[in-house]
Structure 1
Amino acid sequence: MTTRRQALALLAAAAAAPLASRAAEKYRLYMVTWRGMTDVEKGFKEYIARHNIPVEYIWRDANQDRAKLTEFSKEIAATKPDLIYTWGTSATLGITGPADAPNASLGSIPVVFALVAHPTGAKIVTALDKPGRDVTGVYHVATVAAQLEAMRAYRPFTKLGTLYNPAELNSVATINDLRAEAQRRGVTLLEEKFALGPDSRPLADGIEERVTRLKAAGAQWLYLGPDSYLFTQIERVAAAANKEKLLTFATTESALEGESKVLAGLVSRFYSIGEFAAFKAEQILVGKKKAHDIPIETLTRFQFVVRMGVAKAIDALPPITLFHYAEFRE
């Protein structure tokens, strides 16, 4: 005869069985990065670990080679992971396809992206609040209006220079926003583009000459947008600008790190972006929400970073008012 205590124990064991099964199974998460692991992925993985979400990672890096994204898509279609994570505009578009010509081989596999600067401008989705497809994620760039206001707080200007890759949708969309905001403020926007090779890929030819032309035309700031190729050349670009004593402004955290001598920027923390993307992955995997029902968002706070070593070197110290809220680094 089964006692009351034995019956309760059997019920408890039965209730725990699905959880144990899920823990044993693990969610399979296919990660696609564009140029290696970054603090974004660190934040993503550590969030997943802190919340005890059982995940098996399959990591693939494109090493900035779009051809590899086609190979990854085939592997995804064959292995059918529970979720796809993508880093940046190029990797995301290469896996998902644009909203008007989606990658059908993905089927219903949800995608969470991180570090896409302009999700609608890059045509990944048609709207941020309602993605309209099984793709959601986190963008990382403050509004152009906020960026220009930060620059003005440091040093007012009437002419703004920029250098960008015309072959990158993300960059073109950002420049379009920059043109509109500059016009609204009565600021003259001076544009230079990276040279393109026969295959329409950007070239590093003439970087210094382009920066010199911007300075000669009267640029008071050099705006460094969220441009993947620009980042690969950031040290040369910043060095050329500093030689001309042209103030530089970054829109992504990575441009303010390492050996690049960029003066200032309004940026989001890569680690925090990764955590936020992981939260959205949790909503899908654990909460069973559909990616198309999860809005695409960014962080609510950005850091105004100033590199004092650069400021001193080019004789462009910040005004005392910035000491109330900016973050100062050497």
Structure 2
Amino acid sequence: MLLRLALMFLLFSGCYTSDVAAEVKSILVITWRGITQAEQGFMHKLEELGIEADYEIFDAGRDQDRLAGFLRDNQEKLKSKDLIYTFGTTTTLTAQNIGTAGVPLVFNIVANPVEVGIARSLAAPSLGATGAKVSLAPEVAFEMLEHIYPFAKIGILFDPREPNSVSEVERLSAVAEANGKQAIRLRLSPDAKKREVQVASLKPQLLSADVIFVAATSSFVAHAGLIRDILPDDIVSIGSTTVFLKEGVTLVFGTEYWERGEAVAKLAAKILVDHAIPNDLAIAEVTAANATLFVNRNNKAVSKLNLQNADNPIVYK
């Protein structure tokens, strides 16, 4: 009798252990410039939701060829993953173009997923991936800025080498002109050999603008000191992500990277637990209702803002 009970216990224990092991999800996290608060928020929220995961992290190191090589060489390995997470536009587009071996894909910190071809629409992505936008729609950001600082001419600083940046400047320019604003396109490629020549030609154009918009661009983050050096501190500047605040940008309407990570985790949970299909999960947006106004307390141009007219919560950084 005791032997039979012992055997039953072992069999039961074995089944239980197997079931628990099966619940551990295997997730590939592909970063563009190392782990950020976006990934930290993503992992923390999944744990909070009760999802145990084994993470494999691959950092592209801002090298698209390296990322493409990794994906091509590991197609069979990808099939063992339950989910793939990508940071940024270039990383996500590369993964989509090469293929993820049928594994669901969630993306994060993408400014314009529809415009760059990552998704067909925000409500129904339809191209095998869903995720979170990092910034407000330009028309919403402009309207919110008008409340606290009316302007006529906006300079848009962007990197013509990055698709996300080009997409953003196109839409920003169109929205500005539709609202009777003058838009000046300010090209800056921090990785270019003749960067000093670019900066020299940019400075007078920057000084001619009422407002300077800094596009969401990984190259700007990687060369943040350059942005800090070229932005006039007495001209209001607005960024699409909070990471630019420490580099001299005056204000940002949006959310923290950590919060975007949590938003993606909620979508990932529906895929991992409820077996939802990314195509059917709406992309998490930043809206006027859930945006915060982040203000750089050390920027001289803050004194020009009529912050008493702001409709959103204000956080000083």
Smaller-chain TM-score range? 0.7 to 0.9
SS of structure 1 residue aligned to 2:116: coil
What is the CA-CA distance between 1:324 and the residue it aligns to?
6.7
Superposed, 1:221-300 pairs within 5 Å as 221-242=211-232, 245-257=234-246, 260-300=247-287
Structure 1: which 5+ runs fail to align? 1-5, 98-102
The DSSP-based 3-state class of the residue aligned with 1:107 is coil
- 2:85 aligns with 85
Partners of 1:268 and 1:302 within 8 A in 2? yes
TM-score w.r.t. the length of structure 1 is 0.84
**1:163 counterpart (147, 157, 171):** 157
Number of residue pairs matched by the alignment? 305
How far is the alpha carbon of 1:34 from its aligned partner? 0.2
Task: In structure 2, list runs of 5 or more residues that go unmatched.
Answer: none
- Does the CA contact (< 8 Å) of 2:132 and 2:260 recur in 1? yes
Contact in 1 for aligned 2:188/2:199 (Cα 8 Å): no
Cα shift at 1:74: 3.0
Contact 1:211 1:237 in 2 (8 A): no
Matches within 5 A, 1:40-59: 40-59=38-57
Q: Give 3-state SS (helix, strand or coil) of 1:142's partner.
A: coil
Q: How does 1:41-190 map to 2 (within 5 A)?
A: 41-79=39-77, 80=79, 81-97=81-97, 103-104=98-99, 106-190=100-184
Aligned to 2:292: 303
**What do the CA deviations read for 1:63-91 (whole angstroms, capped 9, x no partner)?**
10111212321354121211100000011
Pairwise CA RMSD: 2.6
Structure 2: which amino acid aligns with 1:187?
K
Paired position in structure 2 for 1:3 = none
- Cα drift, residue 288 of structure 1: 0.9
TM-score scaled by structure 2? 0.87
Distance 1:203 1:110 in 2: 41
Identity, % of aligned positions: 23
Partner of 1:100: none
Taking the aligned partners of 1:320 and 1:93, their CA distance within structure 2 comes to 38
| 1:23 lines up with 2:20 in the alignment | yes
Per-residue CA shift, 1:95-140, capped at 9, x if unaligned? 112xxxxx34x23111011111111111112222222232111111
Cα distance in 2 between the residues matched to 1:203 and 1:63: 22
| Cα separation, 2, equivalents of 1:315 and 1:135 | 39
Assess if the C-alpha contact under 8 Å between 1:30 and 1:76 holds in 2: no
